[in-house]
Structure 1
Amino acid sequence: MDWSWLVILQLTSAITGIVGNFLVIAVLFHRRSKNRSTDTLIGGLAFADFLTSIFLIPMPQPAYIPKTWLGEVLSRLVFTQSLLWTSITVSAYLLMSISVERYIAVVHPLHFKRLITPRRVSTLIVIIWVLSVLSGLFGSFTRTVDTFTNKCKEQYINRLTKIIVAFYWFCLLLVVPSLTMLITQVLIARKLSHRSNQFRGMTNSLNGKTMPSFHIVARNRVLKMMLIVILIYLVCWTPNHIAY
């Protein structure tokens, strides 16, 4: 194991993610009696990120992999990082689901309780997990144990296949989640902006101080949240997918 600064940074990130997401899960478990759809989605997101953090723990690369069924399993599942990318996909689409759920809550509040039920939210999380596992299955077919070198090697049919796979992951993990979050958050901001215009000029008094209406404060907070969430997601993932 070569403990370079990059590997140390990766291990530090993994430990931070494990501790942080475990605390989120513990807090949500403590308040599980309230049974909120947002809490369920955030809990699913924290669990996916918890697994991602575990799979991020650096592993030593073996000098020799036997050409056996166990060697093939290690090569196709562990060294392809299929499990890591499955949990990352789940995380991205649960984050997207939270954005859509907040959009329905703000823009269509009268239909929220009818559309977003605990059972539907739980079913959605299961569906996302199943589709994420299926979406990453082909990755296990792109690696095998080389008979001569006894190392894990890539085996694509041709270069075009590699390009198609690259664009597939680019759209799946960057384009679709980013556009969905951007569109839903813009629509939320427009709705709150429209509501705040109806209360323009109205103020709240607190301890003798004049403060803007709640609707204006809510609009500004949502705009900030939208900017933070989308920027962090793009900053974290755009370089990786463009490089890939």
Structure 2
Amino acid sequence: MNATDAHNEEPNEDKWTCRIMAAEGVIGVLGNILVCYVIIRVKFLHNMTNYLLVNLAVADMLLCLQVFFYYLMSDCKLIVFAPVSNSVRDMFCRLLASKYLAWALSYASAYHLCLATLERYIAIVQPLHYARKLTTARMVTLIALVWVISFLLSLPLLFTIEPSNEPDKICSIKYPHRLFPALLSIFTFFSAYLLPLTLMSLAYYKMQVTLKRQAKALKLQHARAAAYDLVIARQNLVSMLKTVLGALIVLWTMDHFAILLCFQKTEKAQFLFCGSTGYHYTRAFTNLLFNFNSVINPFIYEFKYKKFRQGLKVAFCIKRQGGNRVDNGMVPL
């Protein structure tokens, strides 16, 4: 998904691309709703980390919903979009066709993961300051700021497209200045990709070093098993969040570098490749990967987050065999 050229797409995506995009949208919506349901329903999942994961799931769910409807109405032509008024057409062009909503929700997804990383960083690296720095009121404020900032950072996209006067076109591209797509692409690369991913990578490195040092110290001191188990549980949670970050890096990298490679997919682009059919299919593939990031997180929680697996069983009343044993997954982190 390219912030400056998404609305320059070919009139029709290949049918297989449309089907995959629609399937990603459905699976992503259902999977992220499941995450919200389990965390909200199961009491032992009620902690700050999981509340932040709920916000991440809401951002991903809304992004998948937006992708589903946009591709059905615009590229796949499975739903005929017939605007009843100029205002409806204007909203469609500026909110959906410009990819304003898509990028706003992508920002929200990345920044909520940053917020979850910050919460874990303070809990592990600065535990004595956790209660003072991360009060409930402060965290609610930070969550609200993430949503507001995500939509504000995407505002320039509203001015890249407008309703078309041509009878066979709904929207047409309109840049305020010829340098606008280049500046917007560079800004998006740094604000939505490079900056948050760099900060999170450094934070997880510091957390991993701290947890290893704590585990080693507890072993040498022959500390009680409960203290050592708590450190291991924290390591597992950090490992899960690192997997979420790793998936984001893998699935977003190609798309964001494609933005820098080709600001525009026309004869005005800096490389001839940018206007070719090959680039068109490359963009379709990177779009699939980009959107898949909003689908994969529920699967990561299932395979990597033991406490979430336990909550899933409790939420759907799945009884466990030999349930008297105390599990680390139930220990508050």
Asked whether the 8 Å contact 1:65–1:145 carries over to 2, the reply is no
1:59 aligns with 2:59: no
Tell me the residue number matched to 1:38.
49
Using a 3 Å threshold, how does the CA distance of structure 1 residues 10 and 243 change in structure 2: closer, same or farther? Answer: same
Tell me the residue number matched to 2:316.
none
1:113 deviation in Å?
Answer: 1.4
1:220 deviation in Å?
Answer: 6.1
Partner secondary structure for residue 106 of structure 1: helix
Deviations, residues 195-221 of structure 1 (Å, cap 9, x unaligned) = 233235577999xxxxxx648845864
Tell me the residue number matched to 1:210.
none
Partner secondary structure for residue 22 of structure 1: helix
Aligned residue type for 1:236: L
Tell me the residue number matched to 1:119.
137
Q: For residues 1-244 of structure 1, what are the structure 2 equivalents within 5 Å? A: 4-31=15-42, 35-57=46-68, 58-61=71-74, 68-148=86-166, 150-200=169-219, 214=229, 217=232, 221=236, 224-225=239-240, 227-244=242-259
Aligned residue type for 1:192: L
Deviations, residues 82-117 of structure 1 (Å, cap 9, x unaligned) = 112211111110001101110000011111112112
Q: Which runs of 4+ in 1 moved over 4 A?
A: 32-35, 62-67, 200-206, 213-220
Aligned residue type for 2:42: R
* Farther-moved stretch of structure 1 (90-99 vs 65-74): 65-74
Partner secondary structure for residue 172 of structure 2: strand
Asked whether the 8 Å contact 1:196–1:219 carries over to 2, the reply is no
Using a 3 Å threshold, how does the CA distance of structure 1 residues 65 and 144 change in structure 2: closer, same or farther? Answer: farther
Partner secondary structure for residue 72 of structure 2: coil
1:67 deviation in Å?
Answer: 8.4
**Cα distance in 2 between the residues matched to 1:222 and 1:96:** 15
Q: Could you tell me the TM-score, scaled by structure 1's length?
A: 0.85
1:234 deviation in Å?
Answer: 0.8
Count how many residue pairs are aligned between Structure 1 and Structure 2: 238
**Cα distance in 2 between the residues matched to 1:33 and 1:123:** 24
Asked whether the 8 Å contact 1:146–1:152 carries over to 2, the reply is yes
Tell me the residue number matched to 2:300.
none
1:226 deviation in Å?
Answer: 6.0
* Farther-moved stretch of structure 1 (23-32 vs 213-222): 213-222
Partner secondary structure for residue 153 of structure 1: strand
1:229 deviation in Å?
Answer: 3.0
**Cα distance in 2 between the residues matched to 1:95 and 1:109:** 20
**Cα distance in 2 between the residues matched to 1:192 and 1:2:** 47
Q: Could you tell me the TM-score, scaled by structure 2's length?
A: 0.64
Q: Percent identity?
A: 26
Aligned residue type for 1:12: A
1:223 deviation in Å?
Answer: 7.0
1:75 deviation in Å?
Answer: 1.1
1:181 deviation in Å?
Answer: 1.0
Query: Which ranges in structure 2 are unaligned for 5 or more consecutive residues?
Result: 1-11, 75-79, 260-333
Asked whether the 8 Å contact 2:162–2:172 carries over to 1, the reply is yes
- If asked which structure has higher relative contact order (CA below 8 Å, sep 6+), I would say 2
RMSD: 2.9
Using a 3 Å threshold, how does the CA distance of structure 1 residues 226 and 29 change in structure 2: closer, same or farther? Answer: closer
Aligned residue type for 2:61: F
1:238 deviation in Å?
Answer: 0.6
Query: Which ranges in structure 1 are unaligned for 5 or more consecutive residues?
Result: 207-212
Deviations, residues 152-187 of structure 1 (Å, cap 9, x unaligned) = 121113442211100111111111111111011011
* Farther-moved stretch of structure 1 (62-71 vs 44-53): 62-71
**Cα distance in 2 between the residues matched to 1:32 and 1:216:** 22
